[in-house]
Structure 1
């Protein structure tokens, strides 16, 4: 039985209106004029506008007549029983109130971490469907906050990632690949993360320590060491020098081995005393192709996210077919703490911290409500996405016994995990990779060729900047200038395939794509000035990051030559 009482009525002007549960969706007099006023008042093409409600489709007529950008409009019709609109006029119409469907559509419409979204309701839809409207508003707010987190990460880390990806070619070339560990273990794995609940699991962890593979997620290493526990593997992805200074420099890590992403701070690999295994992120296809084709590294990609804990779970599944226990995975401010005891990032949760981080409450592990923030929330969402694709997910257990509920992951106590999977005798033997004999001359030649390609790209970029400077006072681009710029773009695109320049471009792409979108009713003069400014920013910023990337290659070339000299001219 439908919850909507729907009747159709005629209007003085137009093709009629609809009444739902006593509320009119359009004016009884002139629905089209009403729609024109609505569009003039509410639609701003600087935003992605989500319109809640469609009805008879007058809003479509106005948007189409006034030539509003169809990529900037999403229309949601939450009442399935209303007669469908046959002609969408090129606009995205979602006839559903399913929040998962709406989330997918809106995320696809938001490129480059944009958070400029407005949700507006057509008359009375928010009264007819109040719960659906609230869920839509909450979902959009979550997307906006997560995009803020992701954008801040990219902007803050892109230069570090670029340097690390270039310089880690040396250490991956001379070291090992995580492929050497694929499914080599058949025994249980414990993934230890740095949430406040970790401490209460450590006594039991010490009892079963010799029977499990223990993976420490990033900074969790310090807490474990302070409590007398040494992991078998340390998962590390943090690209900042502080990661090296705080957790690895002058730190006796025992026999622990390192599993690191290509974005991990390069000096960790440089000074790490034990075996290390490299991997790349699942989303770094361009990087992987270059590493495989030019460096012969045959890299393995793993699912991850904004946290090393996300990668640690993927690592655990990759190296072992045994059951996996996650401990310390609170993703919440358990016991009024941000992290476990001894963690360098640990803070007491204050009103000021709650306000600064925009903390909020969500469903907890124990069925209660717990306090989290959007950075932690993004990690939770990634776990929920990873668990849907990971192999044998039914053998993965959240044994944190605190913090947030991670949907899709089985919850049992750590005691139950140990009694079910670690009661029998278990033979554990860590894999120690055989040292490789690599020809450093090959690597040196790769670096030399890459520097030449960077120099060629710089010549093209400087020419593009000069051409744009010459046309500043003109009213339009001449055919000759357009052809020259097109030739430069093709040259750069081709040469970029032969250099490792990926992450450092992301902030430029975000800015160039988002800051210079066309505006409604833009004049030819305004369009020319916008495109000129867009290209000026693009080429000038590309010049800077190309110089930076080239300097990173020059530095690792010097390091490689030094390594060869230290080895008395022999290969490594």
Structure 2
């Protein structure tokens, strides 16, 4: 096996996001040349242009350069348990860091994808990067790569982390380095918002995802529509105030474009007499039930993710399609998701999910209507939105403190939540360079990655062409592409075993709790027995947390509690005295075990409901077949 093959095998197993990035990005590393420095260590020469080349390390004394760097950071890292290192290169600096600071947890960021590509061709980095103290590896400059780095720091570090940088990047990329450091607070803020959202909706989402398993088995996975709408544009409609100016043009375009209602925008569309081809839903809240109280809304075909309020999909009389998001551990385990399933990058915005669905279905031209991400004219929604009372709308608008640039070059009032949704949508757009995006809002927020064009101008562009959209989305279905009998049987077996699994977990938690109760005494009177008990607790804990069903159930319901535990994990590992470690196990492991025991009855109750729905599905399916 070559060096490259060894590294790729390791990345595929340990850092699949980096492995995917390498496969999906064409190589442009011709300007990177590996060679051996005079002292025998590997090095890389980078040619920026005909006049400028740089060496990753000092070619005459690479080892000495790394040693001087290590000496220079001593004071900087001594007070922190967690270290972010900007730049991996060939790993020489990281190797020294791990050797001389064996208790520090390190988070590695290589911003230059081509540098990393050349590195894994040159050096076997698998052993170095598999070190137990390397807690994250991120490569590239995308927002997602930065999340892969910063989110683990937010999870494990208690508010502080040393920042180190390879001398090479300080020399050649000082502006990128400065920009990166300035981005960190916004990524941390995003992490906190996501954590708060997880806490707020944790029970709803878990219940929705489990209850939707029966719905998933009776509806159609979006895979059935994959690639069937090549060259057909799609209008993704939001509920913003500008929508009222475009409804007549949307009505005329329905014969030429697909129309997707992003969430509750189905209300204003139906208010103006326009039936969308699909309504895309991800909202798990109870308020969305108010959107689908009338027959017309329930007759619109729906594309839902399992986070959607399951009572809403139960109400629908139309064709149902479904997809998944990459954070959904429940569906990943119980629906046995594979690369063939429609799994999209999770976005805070339903518009972001609708975009990915449209591209998955083959659309290469996406038009935004009513996607204002702000309050133009101090208005919240377009006419026809009734699920949120007018008084509530006025309150939100009057208290909006933020501003965002609009398409006219001035500003609109907005909220921090809308800014997050806008940023998420722009990120999804940036991931799709081969797709044309058009923002038709006359007064809404400027959306990066789109061209601005009024809807009437777009109508003039497309009218008279040969593009014809189907009247109904299901008209193009060629096969009834539901899940195979074998897969359904396996899914049913897994779901029906939830209660057994929960019983096993409950027993394990009681065993761990019993062992923890003995630590205080034994740490003082019998250190050897205490040490063996600590090892036994670790074995019991590993047997629990490494199971997929644990991640699907307990991690979904205890995100805040597990985050607190993870943030103290490095302190537990670093503690060397028996008495100190025993005390930490009592404090932190004991706490999370008690919390898991407390939520187990709720998990059992949710499981009973999901199993009951599945039995009803089986009964109805048997009647149809009979």
Same fold (TM over 0.5): yes
The Cα of 1:105 is off from its aligned counterpart by 5.6
Superposition pairs for residues 92-171 of structure 1, below 5 Å? 108-111=149-152, 113=154, 116=159, 138-171=182-215
- Equivalent-residue separation in structure 1 for 2:313 and 2:415 (angstroms): 32
Q: Equivalent residue for 1:458?
A: 506
**What whole-Å deviation, never above 9, does each CA across 1:155-213 have from its counterpart, x for those lacking one?**
11122111111111101111111112212224221100122322222222123233321
- Equivalent-residue separation in structure 2 for 1:501 and 1:178 (angstroms): 28
Taking a change above 3 Å as real, the CA distance of residues 301 and 312 of structure 1, as seen in their structure-2 partners, is same
Which protein has the bigger helix share? 2
Contact preservation (8 Å) 2:519, 2:582: no
Q: Equivalent residue for 1:533?
A: 587
Q: Equivalent residue for 1:71?
A: 106
SS at match of 2:260: strand
Taking a change above 3 Å as real, the CA distance of residues 464 and 570 of structure 1, as seen in their structure-2 partners, is farther
- Equivalent-residue separation in structure 1 for 2:491 and 2:517 (angstroms): 39
Q: Equivalent residue for 2:606?
A: 552
Contact preservation (8 Å) 2:151, 2:188: no
Please report the TM-score for the alignment, with normalisation by the length of structure 1.
Answer: 0.73
Pick aligned residue for 1:267 from 271, 295, 311: 311
Superposition pairs for residues 304-319 of structure 1, below 5 Å? 304-319=346-361
Taking a change above 3 Å as real, the CA distance of residues 302 and 441 of structure 1, as seen in their structure-2 partners, is closer
- Equivalent-residue separation in structure 2 for 1:435 and 1:104 (angstroms): 35
The Cα of 1:131 is off from its aligned counterpart by 9.2
The Cα of 1:273 is off from its aligned counterpart by 0.6
- Equivalent-residue separation in structure 2 for 1:515 and 1:481 (angstroms): 17
The Cα of 1:257 is off from its aligned counterpart by 0.3
SS at match of 1:211: coil
SS at match of 2:239: coil
Please state if 1:335 is matched with 2:377.
yes
- Equivalent-residue separation in structure 1 for 2:399 and 2:548 (angstroms): 49
The Cα of 1:222 is off from its aligned counterpart by 1.8
The Cα of 1:501 is off from its aligned counterpart by 5.8
Q: Equivalent residue for 2:518?
A: 470
Contact preservation (8 Å) 1:454, 1:499: no
Contact preservation (8 Å) 1:191, 1:216: yes
- Equivalent-residue separation in structure 2 for 1:119 and 1:418 (angstroms): 55
Contact preservation (8 Å) 2:334, 2:494: no
**What whole-Å deviation, never above 9, does each CA across 1:260-295 have from its counterpart, x for those lacking one?**
0011111222221111011101344673354137xx
After the TM superposition, which of the residue ranges 471-480 and 513-522 deviates more from structure 2?
513-522
Q: Equivalent residue for 2:23?
A: none
After the TM superposition, which of the residue ranges 433-442 and 232-241 deviates more from structure 2?
433-442
- Equivalent-residue separation in structure 1 for 2:622 and 2:571 (angstroms): 60
Pick aligned residue for 1:249 from 271, 287, 293: 293
Please state if 1:404 is matched with 2:436.
no
Contact preservation (8 Å) 2:262, 2:350: yes
Q: Equivalent residue for 2:256?
A: 211
**What whole-Å deviation, never above 9, does each CA across 1:434-467 have from its counterpart, x for those lacking one?**
5979989887654333322222222222222222
**What whole-Å deviation, never above 9, does each CA across 1:75-132 have from its counterpart, x for those lacking one?**
99xxxxxxxxxxxxx999xxxxxx95899568614427559368999xxxxxxx9999
SS at match of 2:323: strand
- Equivalent-residue separation in structure 2 for 1:554 and 1:438 (angstroms): 25
Pick aligned residue for 2:280 from 235, 238, 243: 235
After the TM superposition, which of the residue ranges 493-502 and 535-544 deviates more from structure 2?
493-502
- Equivalent-residue separation in structure 2 for 1:324 and 1:256 (angstroms): 20
The Cα of 1:325 is off from its aligned counterpart by 0.6
Pick aligned residue for 1:447 from 471, 486, 495: 495
Taking a change above 3 Å as real, the CA distance of residues 495 and 177 of structure 1, as seen in their structure-2 partners, is closer
Work out the number of aligned pairs and report it.
512
After the TM superposition, which of the residue ranges 453-462 and 169-178 deviates more from structure 2?
453-462
Pick aligned residue for 1:180 from 214, 224, 232: 224
Taking a change above 3 Å as real, the CA distance of residues 542 and 188 of structure 1, as seen in their structure-2 partners, is same
The Cα of 1:253 is off from its aligned counterpart by 1.3
Taking a change above 3 Å as real, the CA distance of residues 271 and 119 of structure 1, as seen in their structure-2 partners, is same
Q: Equivalent residue for 2:63?
A: none
Q: Equivalent residue for 1:496?
A: 549
Contact preservation (8 Å) 2:305, 2:323: yes
Q: Equivalent residue for 1:28?
A: none
After the TM superposition, which of the residue ranges 365-374 and 185-194 deviates more from structure 2?
365-374
**What whole-Å deviation, never above 9, does each CA across 1:377-403 have from its counterpart, x for those lacking one?**
22233223322333x633332222333
- Equivalent-residue separation in structure 2 for 1:569 and 1:106 (angstroms): 49
